[in-house]
Chains A and B, each alone.
Chain A
Amino acid sequence: MQALLQFGRNGLRQQAQSKYLSQALRGYASKELTVRDALNSALDEELARDDRVFIMGEEVGEYQGAYKITRGLLQKYGAKRVRDTPITEAGFTGIGAGAAFAGLRPIVEFMTFNFAMQAIDQIINSSAKTLYMSAGTISSPIVFRGPNGAAAGVAAQHSQCYAAWYSHVPGLKVLAPYDAEDCRGLLKAAIRDPDPVVFLENEILYGSAFPVDDTILGKDFTLPIGKAKVQREGKDITLVGFGKMVGYNLEAAKELEKEGVSAEVINVRTLKPLDRETIVNSVRKTHRVVCVEEGWPQSGFTAEIVATVNEECFDDLDAPPERVTGAEVPMPYAANLEAAALPQVKDVIRVAKRCLGR
Chain B
Amino acid sequence: MSALLHQLPSSCQGYAPRPSVPQQGLKGSAPQVQCRPTRILSHRTLAQAVSAPPAAPEKSKGKDKPKQQKSLTPEVAKDLYRDMFLGREFEEMCAQMYYRGKMFGFVHLYSGQEAVSTGVLRAMRPDDYVCSTYRDHVHALSKGVPAKNIMAELFGKKTGICRGQGGSMHMFSAEHNLLGGFAFIGEGIPIGLGAAFGVKYRKESIGLEGSDQVVASFFGDGTCNVGQFYECLNMASLYKLPIIFVVENNLWAIGMNHPRATGPSDPNDTEPHIWKKGPAFGMPGVLVDGMDVQKVREVAVEAVARARAGLGPTLIEAETYRFRGHSLADPDELRRKEEKEHYAARDPIPQLKKAILEGNILTQDELKEIEKDVLAEVDAAVQFAEESPKPDKAQLLENVFADPKGFGIHEDGRYKYQMPGFSSGNSALV
Q: A153 and B105: CB pair below 8 A?
A: yes
Q: Which of A140-174 contact B (CB under 8 A)?
A: 151-158
Q: A63-B255, A158-B106, A329-B396 are in contact. Are A324 and B428 (CB under 8 A)?
A: yes
CB nearest neighbor in A for B164: A334
Contacts A88-B227, A332-B164, A333-B156: A157 and B183 contacting too (C-beta < 8 A)?
A: yes
Cβ-defined contact, B222 with A329, below 8 A: no
Interface size class of A (residues with CB under 8 A): 35 or more
- Asked whether, in the complex, the Cβ of A329 is within 8 Å of the Cβ of B400, the reply is yes
Do A84 and B227 touch (CB < 8 A)?
A: no
- B202 interface hit (Cβ, 8 Å): no
Given contacts A84-B260, A88-B226, contact A341 B169 (CB under 8 A): no
B260 to chain A: which residues have CB within 8 Å? 84
- The answer for the CA separation of A88 and B223 in the assembled complex, in Å, is 8
Q: How far apart sit A345 and B41, CA to CA, in the bound complex (Å)?
A: 60
Chain B residues positioned under 8 Å from A152 (CB to CB): 104-105
Chain A positions within 8 Å of B345 at CB level: none
Asked if B9 is at the interface of the complex by the 8 Å CB criterion, the answer is: no
B280 at the interface (CB under 8 A from A): no
List B residues 171-197 near A (Cβ within 8 Å).
182-186
Question: B429 contacts which chain A residues (CB < 8 A)?
Answer: 297, 322-325
B321-333 interface code vs A (CB 8 A; 1 in, 0 out) = 0000000000101
Q: How many angstroms between the C-alpha atoms of A63 and B165 in the bound complex?
A: 31
Taking a contact as CB atoms under 8 Å apart, the answer to whether B225 and A88 are in contact is yes
- DSSP majority for the B interface? loop
Please report which residues of chain B, range 329-365, place their CB below 8 angstroms from some CB of chain A when the two chains form the complex. 331, 333-334
Chain A residues within 8 Å of B183, by CB: 155, 157-158
Residues of chain A with a CB closer than 8 A to B43's CB: none
CB-based A-B contact count at 8 angstroms? 153
Number of interface residues of B (CB under 8 A): 48
Chain B residues with Cβ under 8 A from A90's Cβ?
227
Inter-chain CA distance A115–B223, complex, in Å, is 13
Q: Which of A58, A158, A328 contacts B400 (CB 8 A)?
A: A328
Contact status of A59 and B256, CB under 8 A, knowing A88-B226, A90-B227: yes
Question: A342 and B428: CB pair below 8 A?
Answer: no
Are B166 and A155 in contact, with the CB atoms below 8 A?
yes
Which one of B157, B223, B407 contacts A334 once the chains associate, using CB atoms below 8 Å? B157
Bound-state CA distance A87–B227 (Å) is 10
Residues in A302-358 with C-beta less than 8 Å from chain B: 322-330, 332-337, 340-344, 347, 350-351
CA distance A104 to B262 in the complex (A): 25
Please determine whether A86 and B167 come into contact, CB atoms closer than 8 angstroms: no
B148 close to A (CB within 8 Å): no
Name B254's contact: one of A4, A63, A153, A157 (CB within 8 Å).
Answer: A63
Q: A4-B331, A114-B184, A332-B165 are in contact. List 7 more A-B contacts (CB 8 A).
A: A62-B255, A115-B184, A155-B167, A327-B427, A330-B400, A333-B166, A337-B164
Which residues of A approach B to under 8 Å, CB–CB?
1, 4-5, 58-59, 62-63, 66, 84, 86-88, 90-91, 114-115, 118, 151-158, 297, 322-330, 332-337, 340-344, 347, 350-351
